[in-house]
């Protein structure tokens, strides 16, 4: 059975130049997005509740693809809920809701969960992310039982980072699902 992917964006969602949106547009039959009612004033209970609502509607193996505060939402979801359909999570640039002064307005996201996730996961972090230090990202990975990938100086690993289709991210994602995005791209050329 084909693995599907549920993207879980962070603050302000992911715009048209963000790799999450690009992947969704490239593979609309495989990717869908969690839809939050308020992307600009995140409230943990609302965000986790919406994630749970969409996960409860799943009927196929699914990998969560989180970015920024979406990663923290996934960690909170995993503390409160479970689904046999969730097979893994790609957690890209988890935002440090505890220590980042830029996130002092988000509600309920701290403390950040420290229990291991009940599925395979990979944390991907950058050495110059303004929302979380590389050391904090390593702590998140260790706490969650996640593999850890340091991709160097890529900022917040978002549209501003200029990653566009982010091929490196697709290769990392392939470790979590029965997917061949990069190979499929090569055969299209």
CA of 23: how far to CAs of 5, 9, 14, 170, in Å? 10, 13, 11, 9
Per the structure, the count of domains in the chain is: 1
Map residue 122 onto helix, strand or coil. Answer: strand
* Residue 67, pLDDT score: 98
Q: d(Cα 24, Cα 3) in Å, to the nearest integer?
A: 14
Q: What percent of the chain is predicted at pLDDT more than 70?
A: 94
**How is residue 66 written in tokens?**
């989180």
Taking only the tens place, the pLDDT of each residue in 71-91 is 999 999 999 999 999 999 999
Map residue 30 onto helix, strand or coil. Answer: coil
* Residue-range definition of the domain harbouring residue 149: 4-188
Taking only the tens place, the pLDDT of each residue in 113-147 is 999 999 999 999 999 999 999 999 999 999 999 99
Phi first, then psi: what are they for 120, rounded to 5°? -60, 140
Helix (H) or strand (E) holding 125: strand 120-125
Helix (H) or strand (E) holding 115: none
Vertex 27: Cα angle to 4 and 45 (nearest 5): 50
* Residue 179, pLDDT score: 56
CA of 138: how far to CAs of 93, 132, 147, 161, in Å? 11, 10, 9, 20
CATH code, domain with 146: 3.40.50.1820
Phi first, then psi: what are they for 123, rounded to 5°? -95, 125
* Residue 176, pLDDT score: 86
pLDDT tens across the length of the chain (189 residues): 789 999 999 999 999 999 999 999 999 999 999 999 999 999 999 999 999 999 999 999 999 999 999 999 999 999 999 999 999 999 999 999 999 888 888 999 999 999 999 999 999 999 999 999 999 999 999 999 999 999 999 999 999 999 999 999 999 999 887 555 544 444 443
Phi first, then psi: what are they for 23, rounded to 5°? -65, -40
Between β-strands 31-33 and 120-125, what pairing exists: parallel, antiparallel or unpaired? Answer: unpaired
């Amino acid at each position: 059975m084909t693995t599907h992917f549920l993207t879980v964006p962070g603050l302000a969602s992911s715009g048209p130049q963000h790799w999450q949106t690009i992947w969704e547009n490239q593979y609309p039959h495989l990717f869908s997005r969690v839809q939050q009612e308020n992307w600009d004033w995140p409230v943990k209970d609302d965000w986790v509740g919406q994630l749970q609502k969409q996960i409860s509607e799943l009927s196929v193996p699914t990998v969560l693809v989180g970015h920024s505060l979406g990663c923290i939402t996934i960690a909170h979801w995993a503390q409160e809920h479970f689904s046999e359909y969730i097979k893994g999570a790609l957690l890209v640039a988890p935002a440090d809701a505890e220590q980042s002064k830029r996130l002092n307005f988000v509600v309920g996201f701290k403390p950040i969960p420290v229990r291991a996730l009940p599925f395979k996961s990979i944390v991907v972090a950058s050495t110059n992310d303004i929302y979380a230090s590389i050391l904090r990202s390593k702590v998140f990975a260790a706490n969650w039982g996640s593999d850890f990938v340091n991709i160097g100086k890529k900022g917040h690993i978002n549209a501003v980072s200029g990653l566009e289709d982010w091929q490196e991210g697709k290769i990392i994602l392939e470790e979590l699902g029965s997917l061949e995005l990069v190979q499929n791209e090569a055969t299209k050329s």
